[in-house]
Amino acid sequence: MVELLRTISDLRARLSAIRRNGAAIGLVPTMGALHAGHGRLLEKAVADGGFVVASIFVNPTQFHREDDFQSYPRDLATDLAFCERRNVDAAFVPDADEMYAGEPLTSVVVSGLTEHLCGPQRPGHFEGVATVVTKLLNIVQPDRAYFGEKDRQQLVVIHRVVKDLDIPVEIIGVPTVREPDGLALSSRNQLLSSEERQAATVLYRAIRKAEELVQAGETCPGEVMKQGLAVFESEPSARVEYFEVVDPQQLQPVDEIKAPVLIAGAAHLGATRLIDNILVEARE
């Protein structure tokens, strides 16, 4: 049965015993509302061996809007059963007071990588992400930590945090899991109405259109974005937040497509915000 740990001190004591036995530790940070995409992360962690910890914590500091934080789906019993079925060893489920005791004055800010894509639309989001992930890495001190490539900007930011702060952990990105119609799995998908769910595939279709252009030899990012954005015209209920072609490491717009690029977008379906991306190899 998955072991439930709610305090930092209890988790550290448990992991200290694990380390004495020589086992490696894998961490899968989540905000709960677990789905098959999280399942892929957990399965990868378990397959890699050692003692696997899943953290379940809806982090308030990474939400730009209070209503978004309050509406984020939560179902701990279901999440624990999900972890149990995938042979996760322990679930770390702190509350906000445990993670942010005493009104902390310290945060982790990553400049440069957050100026485009989700950054401008969600002030403070990546500061909240970088801070909570740094705290989790410090608390757990894992050998490996697993993150989904659907949140590609987050993954790049975390790689940089680990590099810049010399945190001794291997960050492992796991490919996006999709529905049969291409929609990237997300905890937010369950907030979509049936009509919104049907329309939500437009984001993936737009990114795929852009990918096809790049693979066909198109080198002008403006043309790629123009034709990708045109796909959204078929779904007037979808409101585009951004649609960009950027360098996959620096996350900056490119002037010409002549190396691998990241095509990324965000769109709103009703009150629900969805993101997606595809890493594309440029045609030689």
pLDDT of residue 173: 99
**pLDDT per residue over 186-200, tens digit each?**
999 999 999 999 999
The verdict on whether 38 is a catalytic residue reads yes
pLDDT of residue 35: 98
pLDDT of residue 10: 99
Whole-angstrom Cα distance, residue 142 to residue 145? 7
Which homologous superfamily does the CATH classification assign to the domain defined by 187-276? Pantoate-beta-alanine ligase, C-terminal domain (3.30.1300.10)
| Set 38, 116, 125, 268: catalytic member | 38
DSSP state at residue 216:
T
Tokens for 12, please give them.
């550290």
- Which part of the chain is CATH 3.40.50.620? 3-174
3 three-state secondary structure: strand
- Which part of the chain is CATH 3.30.1300.10? 187-276
Q: Residue-wise pLDDT tens for the chain (284 aa)?
A: 999 999 999 999 999 999 999 999 999 999 999 999 999 999 999 999 999 999 999 999 999 899 999 999 999 999 999 999 999 999 999 999 999 999 899 999 999 999 999 999 999 999 999 999 999 999 999 999 999 999 999 999 999 999 999 999 999 999 999 999 999 999 999 999 999 999 999 999 999 999 999 999 999 999 999 999 999 999 999 999 999 999 999 999 999 999 899 999 999 999 999 999 999 987 76
The answer to whether domain 3-174 has CATH 3.40.50.620 is yes
Output the DSSP codes for 233-280: GG-TTEEEEEEEEE-TTT--B-SS--S-EEEEEEEEETTEEEEEEEEE
